[in-house]
Structure 1
Amino acid sequence: MEGIASMATILAEAGQDQPNEHASLDAMREGMTAPPATPVPSPAPQQPAAAPAPPATPKPSDQALQGSGTAFFVSEQGHLITNAHVVEGCEALKIDGRPVSLLAADESFDLALIKAAPQEAGVVAKFAPRPAGLNADITVAGYPLAGLLSGLNVTRGSVSSLKGLGGDAIRMQISAPVQPGNSGGPAVDAAGRVVGVVVSKLDAKLVADATGDIPQNVNFAVRGEIAKLFMFQNGVEPVLGDEDAPTIDPVTLGKNLEGVTRLVECYAVPK
């Protein structure tokens, strides 16, 4: 009896020392999906895996110069006037290499209002209190053919008609020569007061093909009264020149225009 009892005790202890086969398999399965119950030594540190690259988006550095025009200061706070078609499709605008903001644009007037840093000297263009008369002297300032021509370009002419093409009452016809890039520049009278904003020129080739004659110096400017209305509509009050302002000599007039007129550049990602 004592021998049998001893053997039973030995077998029972042996059964406790050896893990159950099914229990061991369950523990292994549990260990593959759940964290260990007790801390385990960490493996040697490794470099974290690189995060997947986000979808490519255009960067400012990807933007390229798409065109240029002209603008001029109309307030001491840094507001400038140019044409709506100058800023159309632009993702960024720059003046003197610095970004500027587009505040408003009106396609029907073809005018736009942009904002830059305030003028250091506070010099702004003054508007004529009255519309320019027929055959009045006109001086135009701008930056035509940027990259080919350099510096401010100034030309002179007169008011050829008080209306634009086809009787357009928003524009007037001027004879001062203009080129691509003059758009948005000031057209001033003999006293240096703004009477218009250069907007376009007649397509000489198109007219020549249709009529057999080449038109000369048929150019257009948005009337100064329309430009003043556009400014009022967008919260900027135009500065008016004196009613009886004296005539300015051409050299001084050119210097004054140089102080308020700027090259505006249009940037966008090439398509």
Structure 2
Amino acid sequence: MTRPLILGLLLLPALAATPALGQTETFRVYNRTPAPATALHAVRSGRPDWGSNLLNRGPLAPGAFFALRPSEAAGCRFDLRMVLESGQEVVRRNADICADRNVAMALAPAAAPPPVAQRAPPGAPAPDGKPAPLPGGVAAGPGTAPGAMPGPRPNPNARASTGTGFVVGPEQVLTNHHVIEGCSRILVRTADGRTMPGQVPAADARRDLALVRVAGSPGPVLAFRANPVRRGESVVTYGFPLAGLLSSGPTLTTGEVSALAGLNDNPTQFQISAPVQQGNSGGPLLDRQGHVIGVIVSKLNAARVAQRTGDIPQNVNFAVKGTEAVDFLRRNNVTPVLRESPSGERPAVDVGEQAHASTVFIRCER
């Protein structure tokens, strides 16, 4: 099985002044794994990011190849990354495509297990009295497939809080700063049930925004809306409120943009009428075309307002504006996807289904 030839792959210029012989000829990247690949990245060696996903026409089947013709200035040395449907990654650094035009991407062979007489069951005490480690030094969760690399498990003894995030770039999740503040460990659970550790490369306490980087593909990227938001527009929220009390799955709510400023006329936020609860923080606020217009951040403290006014406010909640989030991402070397939203509204159920694959549950352990 073959894939269409991609001409003129845009890559950063190589350091060498003279192109290597034959470096502009087509080379092939083979999927030598037993699973389809959903993402493939090929960039000049040493580039700090992976660039765009080349598999924009669908997965690459096992045994199939993807053909590439680099530009003359790209050089001979490439870093390649393939992401499988399971979330596993195959990375090959510094491949010399001038020396070998066929690049095989295969999973590393599993290490040979120790003799049965010396091996204890996972987690059981070993002969020296220490717990037997699992592959990768992490514990297997329920339903881990045989041979699959298990994900990290929550620490039941940790003081923990939860929130929501959504995918804004390869290996990049956006959430609120207060969701990840003070965490000693961050766990991100994707829509397909995978759990992966997260790190925070950038945060903005003033805007209450943070980036969480994960090793693996957390899901498809959600697009931000490019055209302005108007007061009264219908919106959808998607996230994980009150984890452990309500449904363990995501929750969808609907409402409207009530005001184009937040509490005390904060110009970086919207006021919305869509109900939100603790745990919704960091989730996407979407228009009825499924484009992100904000990041859920807080709700009004109704009890305190009632003490001051004698009236209980209903559904007064806030979101960081999408324009603020886009600026934050660009300042931290993440290129957000921007799309115009046409007039008209899609059903909320369709918007929720679109957001589902891109919205993640975040657990902060302290």
Same fold judged by TM-score > 0.5? yes
Question: CA shift at 1:61, angstroms?
Answer: 6.1
Aligned length: 207
2:188 aligned with 1:95: yes
Question: Using the alignment, how far apart are the partners of 1:253 and 1:194 within structure 2?
Answer: 11
Question: Using the alignment, how far apart are the partners of 2:356 and 2:200 within structure 1?
Answer: 22
2:163 aligned with 1:69: yes
The 1:153–1:245 alpha-carbon spacing in structure 2 relative to 1, beyond 3 Å, is same
Question: Using the alignment, how far apart are the partners of 1:207 and 1:245 within structure 2?
Answer: 36
TM-score by length of 2: 0.54
The 1:198–1:61 alpha-carbon spacing in structure 2 relative to 1, beyond 3 Å, is closer
TM-score by length of 1: 0.73
Question: Using the alignment, how far apart are the partners of 1:124 and 1:65 within structure 2?
Answer: 31
- Superposed, 1:1-271 pairs within 5 Å as 64-75=158-169, 77-96=170-189, 97-119=195-217, 123-149=220-246, 150-244=248-342, 247-268=345-366
Question: Using the alignment, how far apart are the partners of 1:224 and 1:62 within structure 2?
Answer: 35
- 1:78-131 CA distance string (max 9 Å, x none): 1110000000110110012321111111110000001113437x6111000023
Question: Using the alignment, how far apart are the partners of 1:187 and 1:73 within structure 2?
Answer: 13
> Which of structures 1 and 2 has the larger relative contact order (alpha carbons within 8 angstroms, sep 6+)?
1
SS of residue in 2 equivalent to 1:244: coil
SS of residue in 1 equivalent to 2:293: strand
In terms of fraction of residues, the more strand-rich structure is 2
Question: Using the alignment, how far apart are the partners of 1:61 and 1:72 within structure 2?
Answer: 23
Question: Which amino acid counterpart does residue 244 of structure 2 have in structure 1?
Answer: G
Question: Using the alignment, how far apart are the partners of 2:353 and 2:343 within structure 1?
Answer: 17
In terms of fraction of residues, the more helix-rich structure is 1
The 1:160–1:62 alpha-carbon spacing in structure 2 relative to 1, beyond 3 Å, is closer
Question: Using the alignment, how far apart are the partners of 2:259 and 2:172 within structure 1?
Answer: 29
The 1:61–1:81 alpha-carbon spacing in structure 2 relative to 1, beyond 3 Å, is closer
Query: Does structure 2 conserve the Cα–Cα contact (< 8 Å) formed by 1:142 and 1:181?
Result: yes
Question: Using the alignment, how far apart are the partners of 1:219 and 1:151 within structure 2?
Answer: 22
Question: Using the alignment, how far apart are the partners of 2:163 and 2:156 within structure 1?
Answer: 21
Question: CA shift at 1:243, angstroms?
Answer: 4.5
Question: Using the alignment, how far apart are the partners of 2:253 and 2:354 within structure 1?
Answer: 14
Output the aligned Cα RMSD: 1.7
Question: Using the alignment, how far apart are the partners of 1:173 and 1:201 within structure 2?
Answer: 9
- 1:47-82 CA distance string (max 9 Å, x none): xxxxxxxxxxxxx9696141010000011x111100
Question: Using the alignment, how far apart are the partners of 1:185 and 1:65 within structure 2?
Answer: 22
Question: Using the alignment, how far apart are the partners of 1:138 and 1:166 within structure 2?
Answer: 22
Question: Which amino acid counterpart does residue 235 of structure 2 have in structure 1?
Answer: I
Question: CA shift at 1:217, angstroms?
Answer: 0.4
Question: Which amino acid counterpart does residue 224 of structure 2 have in structure 1?
Answer: F
Question: Using the alignment, how far apart are the partners of 1:163 and 1:91 within structure 2?
Answer: 34
Question: Which amino acid counterpart does residue 72 of structure 1 have in structure 2?
Answer: F
For the pair shown, the structure with the greater C-alpha radius of gyration is 1
Query: Does structure 2 conserve the Cα–Cα contact (< 8 Å) formed by 1:172 and 1:222?
Result: yes
Query: Does structure 2 conserve the Cα–Cα contact (< 8 Å) formed by 1:131 and 1:225?
Result: no
Question: Which amino acid counterpart does residue 64 of structure 1 have in structure 2?
Answer: A
The 1:257–1:65 alpha-carbon spacing in structure 2 relative to 1, beyond 3 Å, is farther
The 1:237–1:225 alpha-carbon spacing in structure 2 relative to 1, beyond 3 Å, is same
- 1:149-184 CA distance string (max 9 Å, x none): 220001000000000011100111000000000000
- Stretches of structure 1 that go unaligned for 5 or more consecutive residues are 1-59
- Stretches of structure 2 that go unaligned for 5 or more consecutive residues are 1-153, 190-194
Percent identity of equivalent pairs? 44
